[in-house]
Amino acid sequence: MAPCWQWPKAPACFAAWAPTPNCRDWHEVRGPDRICCGGFWLRCCLPWHCSWRCAAERANNSTSGIVVRLNSEHLAASRRRFLLCGGSLAAALGLGRIGGLLASAGNPIADNRAGYGPLAPVRDLTTGLPLLTLPAGFSYRSFGWEGDALVGGGACPGAHDGMGVVAADGGVITLIRNHEVVRASGTFAPAAASYDPVCAGGTVTLRYDPDRGELLGATPSLSGTLQNCAGGTTPWGSWLSCEEFVSSAGARSVLQDGQHVLSRDHGFVFEVPGEGLSNAEPLVAMGQFRHEAASVHARSGIVYLTEDHSPDAGFYRFVPRVPGQLHAGGRLQMLAVEDRADLRRGMRVGALLPVHWVDIEHPDRGIEGDGDITGVLSQGVAAGGSRFSRLEGCIATDEVVYFTSTDGGDLAAGQVWGYFPDRQVLVLIFESTDRAVLDYPDNVVLSPRGGLVMCQDSAGEAVVEKLHGLTAQGEVFAFAGNNVVLAGERGFNGDFRNSEWAGACFSPDGRWLFANIYRPGFSVAITGPWQQGLI
C-alpha cells in the first residue's frame, strides 16, 4: 500500500491538502477528525477513499483525538480508552484480538484482577522445595536440572535459556532447550553435532511427560557453540538456536573462563531437528551478529530475528529462497521506519509507523576491520534501517510479530512492539513507565488464551525475578515469582531469586506452561486453572 501522501487526492475526503510547517508527526491529531499524515492535514470520512472504512469521533475523555473502528467495531476499552491516531491506517490493519490491547495501552498498571490473584510460595512436586511463588490453585514440577545425567553420558550444562516445544505425542512433550554457556571447557554433544570443539554452549533435547512428572530423556543435540541465548521453533518441528557471542576464527576471545583462540567464527543461528542431532552447520545467510530470538512466520516462511546489542540494535527478517529450507540461503533485511531512524526513546504507544526493509548486502561480515562486532548493524543503519535498544524476545503469529526491547522506552524499563506484515506497519504496543509494573522484559510467548507471557531479566542483585502476563486489555500482572533459595540441595547453595526466567512456552493443548530458571539451571512445568485468567 502506498504511503498516504501518495494516494489520489480526493477532495471529498480531505479537509486540506497543503503542507503545513506544524504538521510533522504522522499521528498528530487536531480536532475530532483531522490527522497529520506526511506533512498534510487529512480529514477522515465514511466511507474512506480506496474502500477503507474509517469512523472518527471525538473521544469521550479527550478534548481532541480520534477513536477508530477495528474490524468495523469500536474498540471497547473497559477502564481506559486509547486514542489510536492515524485513523485510516489503523482501520485497515484488521488487528483482531490485539485490538483490545491497543485500546487500553498507554498507561500500564499492575492489576491482579486481570491475573490469577496474589502469589505465594508453592512446593515443587519433584523436590518438595518452595522454588516458585504462584497464584492459588497452580502447581508445578521441576525437571532437567544442571548436573543431571544426559543420554550417552556426561552432565547437563547450566545457564538454561531459550526453549520451545517442537513435538507432542501421546502426552509426551519434546522440548529443545538452549544453554547459554560462554566457556571453552569443551563440547558436550557428539562430534557430529559439535561446531567448535572447545566451546561449551549448545542445546539439549528433552522428552517429558508432564502428567506423570517423568523426564524420559535429556539428549545433547548441538554443542560447540557459544552463548546460545534464545531462538525459536519452526512450523516444520525444529528449533533455531541463536548465538549471542560474536567472534572471528583465530582471534583471541574473552570468555567467562579466560581468553581463548577459537577455531571457528561465531555469532550465527543453528537449526536443531526435533529428533536426533543438529548438523552443526551455521545458517550464515541469517547474519553474524548478537542474535537473540528467531521466529518463523508460518504463512510466508519468513524468519524474524532480534539483536541484543547495546546501545543500539536492529530488527531483522530473513526471506528464504525456499520456505522451510533455511540452509538453501536467502536474503537478510533490516527494518526501517519511514523518517524515524531512532526508536529507542520518545515513542508514542499506539503510533502507527509505516515501514520498509533494507537489504544487508554482506550478512556474513559481522566483524569489521577494527574488531567491532556491529558489521551487520552498521550495514543496515547505513542503508536507512532504524535502531532499537537491546531487542530480546520475538514471537510471530499469522497477523502480528511481537518483539521486546528489554531496556527501551523513556524510563529504559522495556517496550513491547508489534509488526504487522500484511500492512507493513509497526506499532509500539506497550511501554513500561514504572519498574514496579514491568522491568526488562526478555523472552516472550503468546498464550493459547490471547495474552502474552514475558520473562523478566532485571538488573540488580535485590530483584526477585518474575513471569509477567500482558493481557489483551493492556494490563500487566505478575504470574510467577522466582523463590529459589538452596542450602545444599542438589549440590547448590545460595539465594537465586534474582536469577532470570527464560524459555517460556506452552504445550499445544495449553494445559502446561514450561519455563526455565537460568541459575542454577532447571526447567518447570506449571499447570492450574488457566480458564480463570487471560494467559
Q: What 3-state DSSP class applies to 60?
A: coil
pLDDT at 198: 97
Cell reading at 213: 512428572
pLDDT at position 63 over 90: no
pLDDT for 389-429, tens place per residue? Answer: 999 999 999 999 999 999 999 999 999 999 999 999 999 99
pLDDT at position 370 over 70: yes
What number is the average pLDDT over the span 439-458? 92
Question: Is 289 in contact with 300 (CB distance < 8 Å)?
Answer: no
pLDDT at position 31 over 60: no
Dist CA 142 CA 131 (whole Å): 9
DSSP 51: G
Sheet with 391-396: list strands edge to edge: 291-296, 303-307, 315-320, 330-337, 352-359, 425-431, 415-420, 401-405, 391-396
Weakest mean pLDDT among 159-168, 245-254, 270-279, 467-476: 467-476
pLDDT at position 512 over 60: yes
Give bridge partners of residue 330 from the DSSP assignment: 320
Local confidence band at 337 (pLDDT 50, 70, 90 cut-offs): very high
Question: Angle at Cα 98 formed by Cα 92 and Cα 104, nearest 5°?
Answer: 105
Local confidence band at 102 (pLDDT 50, 70, 90 cut-offs): low
What percentage of the chain reaches a pLDDT higher than 70? 78
Dist CA 177 CA 163 (whole Å): 4
What number is the average pLDDT over the span 37-57? 31
CA–CA distances in Å: residue 160 to residues 80, 204, 325, 336: 39, 10, 28, 33
Cell reading at 72: 468495523
pLDDT at 397: 96
Dist CA 118 CA 134 (whole Å): 8
CA–CA distances in Å: residue 262 to residues 240, 246, 280: 22, 11, 16
Weakest mean pLDDT among 6-10, 67-71, 92-96, 333-337: 67-71
pLDDT at position 221 over 50: yes
For cell 480463570, the residue is: 532
Dist CA 335 CA 374 (whole Å): 16
Peptide bond before residue 320 is cis, with ω within 30 degrees of 0: no
pLDDT at position 72 over 50: no
Local confidence band at 483 (pLDDT 50, 70, 90 cut-offs): very high
CA–CA distances in Å: residue 215 to residues 205, 310, 511, 519: 11, 38, 17, 20
Residue-range domains of the chain with CATH: 15-94 (no CATH), 114-532 (2.120.10.30)
For 449-510, give the secondary structure using H, E and C.
CCCEEEEECCCCCCCCCEEEEECCCCCEEEEEEECCEEECHHHCEEECCCCCEEEEEECCCC
Dist CA 522 CA 296 (whole Å): 26
Residue 407 phi, psi (nearest 5)? -125, 25
What number is the average pLDDT over the span 163-178? 98
pLDDT for 238-269, tens place per residue? Answer: 999 999 999 999 999 999 999 999 999 999 99
Local confidence band at 153 (pLDDT 50, 70, 90 cut-offs): very high
Dist CA 300 CA 298 (whole Å): 6
Dist CA 28 CA 65 (whole Å): 9
Dist CA 388 CA 435 (whole Å): 19
- The residue ranking higher by pLDDT, 75 or 530, is 530
Strands in 338-424 per DSSP E: 352-359, 391-396, 401-405, 415-420
